[in-house]
């Protein structure tokens, strides 16, 4: 730095200005802050946020002004958009056609703008969304709504400023007779802030403006009765009023908007959902149709068979979603709301420029700002008209004086050599109207009073007006025309002065103009405001309470069917088919429950899900139903190990007993699982490398038997396991040796003794009475204590292989054996020989070389044989592989 350069004084508040050839040291943080703030405010004011008075951004305002300059009124021919864009860019907005044309297009698209400002002709895009054609192909003119925005623009109602190159002037705001910001809303992203203002119904807004004028102290609840909520151009349903009330009170809120979906049925009896309206700012194809197709491919919307877009200009929007047979339309509709843009959230952020500063405004504030703007417009318009009337009255006054003394006026003019000399002589001449003058009776008293006592000197304006008189106007009858015009102007002047002197008259004029706007353009509301909040849809309220048969297959397919579908048969009847299954699947569990009962689904990761029975799709008797993964949100590789129907969580001493592969057991009260949310709940806190084997419900006095892969088994009383909390890990149920693991657990009710069937991976198995798992002593038999090594159940050796499953059976039980390679064999339990503990068992099935047995399950009855007239739910309801029944 040279010697002449000195750093700025730290005490100085003003940054030092460098002279030519000098440099100034500035703190970079301060310079960046100042520059960024300057840029931010420029973006906020000149680009992104609307003015609260006319609801327009500069680009929108300039397009309308340019169209007004081109006289593209509604009655004129449409003009090429390229010309409109060029005029706007040339005179007002030098930011390129890529910024101007999309803005023009948006003001012409009826799915984006509630009350159009541009009347379009040509391809302006679609809600699909298709892009508009190039501006050289499209045409436009002003819509009637835009004319209302520009009315009185030339009457000095708003301020004008020079344009970017100071060749013409442009208005800073439009008079905006139409309450544009309230009825069309606005969106924009600035620096550090954004606005998202919803559109409203014009008729409701007009009524609210009148109500606010009549009662400036009107409360928000009264305005909410007039304006219940937004009115989007695409219709839809706003769910709940809480977000609306918050937004209208403080300028910020969130509302949930749903599509309007109707249920229809085809001639063949298939159900279909028809989308008639969609949420605001949502595209039909890219946003909705494509999303539904993706979810179908991902097997998340398996009840949808096809989707067809039948929309057209004649029928409007009509997207048909065809459902598979047996699908519940209400359930699918709810899934669509949850997983697709057919339900979305619209954030209301009412930020607009007030006197050039961004402010967050509530509904009443927005209405009041519009009223304030219109008061200013009406006053300035009245002042302009008053000024014009006064000028014209002043000119006519001079003409009246001249006609009353026309001979003298002609003499003065003829005696003058030049025009200027004549004007000067007229200005120097004093005029009077004597009482005896022939025209005196016709002269207004206002002029007589001016000319009775003193001579009236003409002004230059009056003298020049006399100079422009034509000879024909000097006839006697001209005085009558002049006096009539003068009287009319005086009346106008008095009217205008009265308006300016009385603020209430200004408000009355605003009310009259608002009533006129309402009468011209008000239309019915498009968006419905529902009282129910989103997510509060109670399918239970839509589902009658009835008894149904629920069927669950080994592969996890579920369905429900009314009990009435299973007709009552005589004893010994053949029954009816309860489900159609594939070769690799079979019915594993059947139970009768109420549609309003709960179904707990426990997974191997220790989580539990709860669904209502009515959420299980109703399917025909011969259908296998829908996979449970479509109803609950399972993680990859997570599987359900236990289904448990529950009718009452508040039953007395009822518990759930859990067992893991590492030998841990846990007992928890059933009522602890009554509150399970849609995303699931931790049912047991598993340790690392542990998995849940199964869950039993117990009564508090039952015995529990655990079996392991190395052929050990332990039977203990359930109360050996103390009652724990829901998230507890549990205690040791069996002491495992080496790499041994628990493969199954069964409940043995008090006083009940059945057979325990155990099978191994090489296809061997045996039945053993459960009493043999008790410890015999001189005083009788007793179960073992929890946590022991257990007793030998079956011999595990090279011939048998490891144990793969165990369950309690009777002679009538039907079993399914599944191998690793997918072979399924169905056998009856009776032929399996009953032997003692510790034996090798007998061959149950022939397992091919290289294959092995992997699972064992009890087959639930899949027909509806009835004994006499007994109910279907009493005798033909099966149990699952752990012996679970309805708790």
Parallel, antiparallel, or unpaired: how do β-strands 252-258 and 456-457 relate?
unpaired
Q: Which of 78-82, 106-110, 210-214, 858-862 has the lowest mean pLDDT?
A: 858-862
pLDDT in tens, 26-43: 788 877 877 767 666 666
Q: At what angle do helices 202-214 and 503-521 cross, to 10 degrees?
A: 160
Does residue 267 sit within a domain? Answer: yes
Least confident of 371-380, 405-414, 586-595, 763-772: 586-595
Cα gap 791→497, rounded to integer Å: 111
What mean pLDDT comes out for the span 335-346?
91
Classify residue 187: in a domain, yes or no. no
- Please tell me the predicted confidence (pLDDT) of residue 41: 66
Across 109-134, average pLDDT? 94
My answer on whether 320 and 418 are in the same domain is no
Tokens 């020049």, residue located = 464
For residues 510 and 374, is the Cβ–Cβ distance under 8 A? yes
309: CATH = 3.30.1360.40
The better pLDDT of the pair 802, 588 is held by: 802
Residue 534: what pLDDT? 65
CATH number at residue 570: 2.120.10.90
Dihedral sign for Cα atoms in the order 847, 848, 852, 857: negative
Q: Which residue has the higher pLDDT, 387 or 574?
A: 387
665 and 563 housed in the same domain:
yes
Is residue 884 pLDDT above 70, yes or no? no
Containing H/E element for 360?
A: strand 357-360
* pLDDT of res. 854: 85
Return the DSSP state at 882: T
39-92 pLDDT per residue, tens? 666 666 677 789 999 999 999 999 999 999 999 999 999 999 999 999 999 999
Residues 543, 492 share a domain: no
CA–CA gap between residue 368 and residue 379 (Å, rounded): 16
Q: Does 609 map to a domain?
A: yes
Least confident of 175-184, 266-275, 456-465, 752-761: 456-465
Does residue 698 sit in the same domain as residue 825?
yes
Co-location of 311 and 421 in the same domain: no
Query: Does residue 378 have a pLDDT over 70?
Result: yes
| Ranges assigned E (strand) in 8-111 | 79-80
What is the domain range of residue 86?
49-178
729 C-beta neighbours (distance < 10 Å), count: 15
Reported as a single tens digit per residue, the pLDDT across 297-332 is 888 888 899 999 998 888 889 999 999 887 888 888
The SS3 of residue 875 is helix
Whether 407 maps to a domain, the answer reads yes
CATH of the domain at 56: 3.90.199.10
Kindly state the percentage of the chain with pLDDT values over 90: 50
The CA angle 86-87-88, to the nearest 5 degrees, is 90
CA distance 550 to 719: 32
Please, what sign has the CA dihedral across residues 86, 89, 95, 99? negative
642 or 443, which is more confident = 642
The candidate with the shortest Cα–Cα distance to 713, out of 777, 762, 769, 656, is 769
793, HSE (Cβ side, Cα atoms, 13 Å)? 36
CA 885 to CA 321: how far, in whole Å?
38
Can you list the alpha helix ranges (DSSP code H) found in 502-553? 503-521, 539-542
Task: Tell me the CB-side half-sphere exposure of residue 626, using CA atoms within 13 A.
Answer: 26
Q: CA–CA separation, 594 vs 592, rounded Å?
A: 7
Indicate the angle between helix axes 406-414 and 419-428, nearest 10 degrees: 140
CA gap 877, 871 in Å, rounded: 10
Is 769 buried (19+), middle (13-18) or exposed (0-12) by CB count in 10 A?
middle
**124-128, 609-613, 777-781, 876-880: which has the minimum mean pLDDT?**
876-880
User: For residue 11, is pLDDT > 70?
Assistant: no
Q: Which residue has the higher pLDDT, 325 or 8?
A: 325
**pLDDT value at residue 886:** 36
Q: Which of 823, 881, 874 is nearest to 853 (CA)?
A: 823
The torsion angles phi and psi of 436, rounded to 5 degrees, stand at -85, 0
- In this prediction the pTM is 0.65
Give how far Cα 479 sits from Cα of 48, 396, 404, 435, 453, Å: 59, 10, 8, 16, 22
Average pLDDT over every residue of 110-128: 95
Q: In which element (H, E) is residue 182 found?
A: helix 180-184
Whether 776 has a pLDDT exceeding 50, the answer reads yes
> Which residues contact residue 730 at a Cβ distance below 8 angstroms, ignoring those fewer than 6 apart?
658, 660, 664, 665, 666, 684, 721, 724
Q: How many structural domains does the chain have?
A: 4
Span 760-776, mean pLDDT? 91
Q: 113-127, 179-193, 820-834: which has the minimum mean pLDDT? A: 820-834
Q: How far apart are CA 219 and CA 224, in angstroms?
A: 9
Looking at the fold, whether 500 and 543 belong to one and the same domain comes out as no
The secondary structure of 399-433 as a DSSP string is HHHHHHTHHHHHHHHHT-SSHHHHHHHHHHSEE--
Per residue, the 3-state secondary structure of 367-408, as one string, reads HHHHHHHHHHHHHHHHHHHHHHHHHHHHHHHHHHHHHHCHHH
> E-assigned strands of 570-618?
587-594, 598-603, 607-612
Residue 270 lies in a domain: yes
640 within 8 A of 881, measured Cβ to Cβ: no
Residue 764, phi then psi, degrees to nearest 5: -105, 155
User: Is residue 54 a contact partner of residue 184, using CB atoms and an 8 Å limit?
Assistant: no
Query: Of 156, 178, 200, which residue sits at a domain end?
Result: 178
Q: Which residues contact 154 (CB under 8 A, 6 or more apart)?
A: none
* Integer Cα distance of 248 and 137 in angstroms: 42
Tokens (6 digits) for 11: 């005490």
CATH number at residue 471: 1.10.268.10
CA distance 870 to 876: 10
What tens digit of pLDDT does each residue of 667-685 get? 999 888 888 877 788 999 9
pLDDT at 193: 82
Tell me how far apart the alpha carbons of residues 255 and 347 are, in angstroms, rounded to a whole number: 7
Q: Which of 178, 212, 229 is the last residue of a domain?
A: 178
pLDDT confidence of residue 202: 97
Is there a single domain that holds both residue 613 and residue 701? yes
State the pLDDT confidence band at 515, using cuts at 50, 70 and 90: very high
Q: Is the pLDDT of residue 852 over 80?
A: yes
* Pairwise CA distance, residues 132 & 139, whole Å: 11
Burial of 382 (0-12, 13-18, 19+ CB in 10 A): buried
Measuring CA to CA, which residue among 68, 247, 695 is closest to residue 238? 247
What percentage of the chain's residues is helix, strand, coil (to nearest 5)?
Answer: 30, 25, 45
Contact indicator for 537, 246 with CB cutoff of 8 Å: no
Same domain, 469 and 553: no
Is 391 inside a domain boundary?
A: yes
Confidence of residue 16 (pLDDT cuts 50, 70, 90): low
Q: Are 100 and 63 in contact (CB under 8 A)?
A: yes
Compute the average pLDDT of residues 590-617: 86
Q: Above 70 in pLDDT, residue 659?
A: yes
Q: How many residues does the chain have?
A: 887
Helix (H, G, I), strand (E, B) or coil at 236: coil
- Kindly tell me if the per-residue pLDDT of 478 is higher than 80: no
Residue 542's contacts (CB-CB under 8 Å, 6 or more residues apart) are 330
Taking residue 751's Cβ as centre, other Cβ atoms within 10 Å add up to 6
- State the Cα–Cα distance between residues 526 and 232, nearest whole angstrom: 7
485: left (phi over 0), alpha (psi -120 to 50) or beta: alpha
pLDDT at 14 over 60: no
Query: Residue 759: which of 714, 806, 808, 798 has the closest Cα?
Result: 806
pLDDT at 191: 74
Computed over every residue of the chain, the mean pLDDT equals: 85
Q: Do 802 and 663 share a structural domain?
A: yes
Q: What is the mean pLDDT of residues 204-215?
A: 96
CA 639, 643, 647, 651 torsion: positive or negative?
negative
Residue 233 pLDDT level (bands cut at 50, 70, 90) = very high
Query: Which residue would you say has higher pLDDT here, 704 or 622?
Result: 704
469: β partners? none
Domain boundary among 178, 207, 233: 178
Residues sharing a CB contact under 8 Å with residue 292, sequence separation 6 or more, in sequence order: 301, 304, 307, 321, 336, 340
Same domain assignment for residues 454 and 323: no
- What residues are annotated to the active site? 137
Residue 870 has pLDDT above 60, yes or no: no
Q: How far is CA 658 from each of CA 512, 704, 747, rounded to the nearest angstrom?
A: 76, 10, 11
- Evaluate if residue 429 carries a pLDDT over 90: no
Residue labelled with tokens 């009310």: 511
Q: What is the pLDDT of residues 522-565, one digit of tens each?
A: 999 999 999 877 655 555 654 667 788 888 887 888 888 887 66
> What residues contact residue 564 under an 8 Å CB cut-off, 6+ apart?
none
Region 188-206 average pLDDT: 90
pLDDT over 70, % of the chain: 87
Same-domain check for residues 557 and 655: yes
Please indicate, yes or no, if residue 635 is contained in any of the structural domains.
Answer: yes
Assigned domain for 186 exists: no
Cα gap 251→429, rounded to integer Å: 67
Pick the closest to residue 596 from 546, 671, 558, 562 (CA basis).
546
* Residue 403 shares a structural domain with residue 549: no
Gap between the Cα atoms of 396 and 19, Å rounded = 61
């Amino acid at each position: 730095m040279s010697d002449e350069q000195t750093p700025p004084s730290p005490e100085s508040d003003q940054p030092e200005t460098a002279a030519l050839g000098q440099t100034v040291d500035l703190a970079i943080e301060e310079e960046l802050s100042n520059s960024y703030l300057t840029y931010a405010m420029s973006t906020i004011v000149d680009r992104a946020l609307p003015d609260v008075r006319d609801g327009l951004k500069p680009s929108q305002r300039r397009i309308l002004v340019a169209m007004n300059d081109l006289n593209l009124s509604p009655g004129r021919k449409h003009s090429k958009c390229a010309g409109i864009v060029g005029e706007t860019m040339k005179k007002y907005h030098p930011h390129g056609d890529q910024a101007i044309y999309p803005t023009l297009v948006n003001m012409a698209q009826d799915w984006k703008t509630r009350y159009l400002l541009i009347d379009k002709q040509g391809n302006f895009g679609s809600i699909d969304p298709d892009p508009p054609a190039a501006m050289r192909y499209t045409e436009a003119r002003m819509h009637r709504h835009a004319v209302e925005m520009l009315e009185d623009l030339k009457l000095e109602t708003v301020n004008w400023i020079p344009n970017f190159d100071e060749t013409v002037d442009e208005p800073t705001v439009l008079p905006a007779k139409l309450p544009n910001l309230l009825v069309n809303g606005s969106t924009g992203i600035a620096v550090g802030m954004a606005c998202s203002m919803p559109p409203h119904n014009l008729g409701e807004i007009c009524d609210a403006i009148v109500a606010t004028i009549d009662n400036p102290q009107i409360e928000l609840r009264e305005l909410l009765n007039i304006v219940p909520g937004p009115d989007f151009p695409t219709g839809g349903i706003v769910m709940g009023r809480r977000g609306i009330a918050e937004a209208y009170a403080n300028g910020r809120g969130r509302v949930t908007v749903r599509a309007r979906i109707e249920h229809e049925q085809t001639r063949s009896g298939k159900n279909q959902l028809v989308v008639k309206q969609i949420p605001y700012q949502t595209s039909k194809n890219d946003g909705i149709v494509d999303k539904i197709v993706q979810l179908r491919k991902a097997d998340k919307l398996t009840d949808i068979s096809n989707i067809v877009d039948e929309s057209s200009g004649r029928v409007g929007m009509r997207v048909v979603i065809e459902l598979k047979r047996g699908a519940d339309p209400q359930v699918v509709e709810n899934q669509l709301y949850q997983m697709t843009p057919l339900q979305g959230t619209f954030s209301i952020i009412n930020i607009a420029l007030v006197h050039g500063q961004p402010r967050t405004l509530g509904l009443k504030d927005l209405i009041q700002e519009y009223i304030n703007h219109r008061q200013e417009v009406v006053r300035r318009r009245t002042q302009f008209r008053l000024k014009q009337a006064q000028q014209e009255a002043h000119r006519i006054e001079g003409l009246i004086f001249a006609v009353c003394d026309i001979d003298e006026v002609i003499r003065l003019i003829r005696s003058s050599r030049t025009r200027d000399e004549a004007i000067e002589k007229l200005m120097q001449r004093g005029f009077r109207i004597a009482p005896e003058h022939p025209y005196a009776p016709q002269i207004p008293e206002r002029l007589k009073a001016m000319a009775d006592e003193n001579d009236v000197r003409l002004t230059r304006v009056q003298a020049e007006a006399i100079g422009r008189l034509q000879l024909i106007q000097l006839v006697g009858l001209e005085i009558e025309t002049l006096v009539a015009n003068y009287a009319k102007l005086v009346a106008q002047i008095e009217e205008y002065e009265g308006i300016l002197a009385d603020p209430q008259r200004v408000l009355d004029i605003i009310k009259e103009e608002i009533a006129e706007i309402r009468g011209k353009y008000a239309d019915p509301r498009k968006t419905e405001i529902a009282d129910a909040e989103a997510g509060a849809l109670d399918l239970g309220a839509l589902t009658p309470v009835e008894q149904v048969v629920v069927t669950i297959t080994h592969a996890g397919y579920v369905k429900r069917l009314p009990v009435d579908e299973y007709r009552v048969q005589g004893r010994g009847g053949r029954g009816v088919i309860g489900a159609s299954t594939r070769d690799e699947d079979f019915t594993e569990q059947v139970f009768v429950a109420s549609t309003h009962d709960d179904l707990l689904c426990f997974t191997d990761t220790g989580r539990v899900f709860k669904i209502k029975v009515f959420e299980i799709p109703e399917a025909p008797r011969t259908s296998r139903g829908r996979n449970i993964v479509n109803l609950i949100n399972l993680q990859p590789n997570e599987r359900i190990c236990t289904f448990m129907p529950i009718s009452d969580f508040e039953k007395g001493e009822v518990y759930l007993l859990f067992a893991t592969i590492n030998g841990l057991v846990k007992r928890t009260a059933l009522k602890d699982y009554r509150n399970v949310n849609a995303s699931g709940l931790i049912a047991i806190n598993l340790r690392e490398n542990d998995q849940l084997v199964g869950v039993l419900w117990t009564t508090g006095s039952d015995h529990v038997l655990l079996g392991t892969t190395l052929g050990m088994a332990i039977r203990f009383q359930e109360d050996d396991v103390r009652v724990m909390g829901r998230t507890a890990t549990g205690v040791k149920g069996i002491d495992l040796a080496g790499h041994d693991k628990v493969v199954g657990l069964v409940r043995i009710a008090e006083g009940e003794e059945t057979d325990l069937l155990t099978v191994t991976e090489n296809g061997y198995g045996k039945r053993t009475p459960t009493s043999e798992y008790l410890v015999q002593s001189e005083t009788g038999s007793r179960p073992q204590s929890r946590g022991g090594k257990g007793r030998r159940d079956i011999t595990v050796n090279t011939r048998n292989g490891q144990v793969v499953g165990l369950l309690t059976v009777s002679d009538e039980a039907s079993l399914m054996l599944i191998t690793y390679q997918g072979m399924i064999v169905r056998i009856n339990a009776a032929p399996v020989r009953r032997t003692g503990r510790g034996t090798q068992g007998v061959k149950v099935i022939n397992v091919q070389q290289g294959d092995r047995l992997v699972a064992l399950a009890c087959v639930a009855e899949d027909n509806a044989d009835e004994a006499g007239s007994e109910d279907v739910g009493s005798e033909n309801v099966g149990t699952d592989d752990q012996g679970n029944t309805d708790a």
